[in-house]
Structure 1
Amino acid sequence: IPQVGFLPADDKRVIGTIEAIQRELSTEDGFVLRYPTDGGVDGLPGDEGAFLACSFWLADALALIGRTDEARELFERLLSIRNDVGLLAEEWDPRLKRQVGNFPQAFSHVPLIDTALRLTQPLGPESGDTTAP
């Protein structure tokens, strides 16, 4: 929402949404699920891995609201799961510690680039600028 200028990053609704995502959709690695997988919400059996695009979006959102250290920590954890040539799949299985889903996945690499840019050109409440670069 703040990336497109709908609400400022320091709006309590934005911060509350980010915290709800961390509380309700984060895996044990701190990566993010697309949606709760318990209870058969998607009609498919079993669980799915953490969705890497959502995890990069969380790191980006944390940077945007000024929680840069937390954003960098998540970003570094995400970078650490790349394969030997730096590629990412669609998802990460936190139990088996491996990439799963479509591979390689551009939908994981685009937010990687966006978050890297945000972290090298920090924005957020402390800079006075709460919009996307």
Structure 2
Amino acid sequence: MSSENSYQQQIASLERKVARLEDLVFDIVHCVEYRDDKPFNALTSQLMIYGDERIELFFTLDYICDLLEGRPSASKSHLLRRKIDDKDVFRRTSLSEPEAVGYLSEIVGPANAEEMLNAFRRQYRHK
């Protein structure tokens, strides 16, 4: 029985890896195909952010943009599990641009934070 469980665990692990690789290939294709009109897809592909991490980044950026626009959305905050160290951000009603870049620096690093925010806005917020 234990060897059967071990095989099932290995199969499940391989299935997860294949799913992540499929997602990465999809993003890379989009990076090449949509370089100008899909800057968020291009940048996440370039930085090799994919799978659950990319989805979580998307929701984090969406929430941060809501705060930047003065439209906090409590319904979105539950989607952000572990990315930002300062959990007080989820009780805020607004956010300044430097604060937003600071929070994003915790996720994508200071070198990419402002570019990521701008790429997300161009692709999804049209700003």
TM-score between both structures, scaled by the size of structure 2: 0.31
Structure ranking higher on relative contact order (CA contacts 8 Å, 6+ apart): 1
> Rg larger in 1 or in 2?
2
Higher fraction of helix? 2
TM-score between both structures, scaled by the size of structure 1: 0.30
Higher fraction of strand? 1
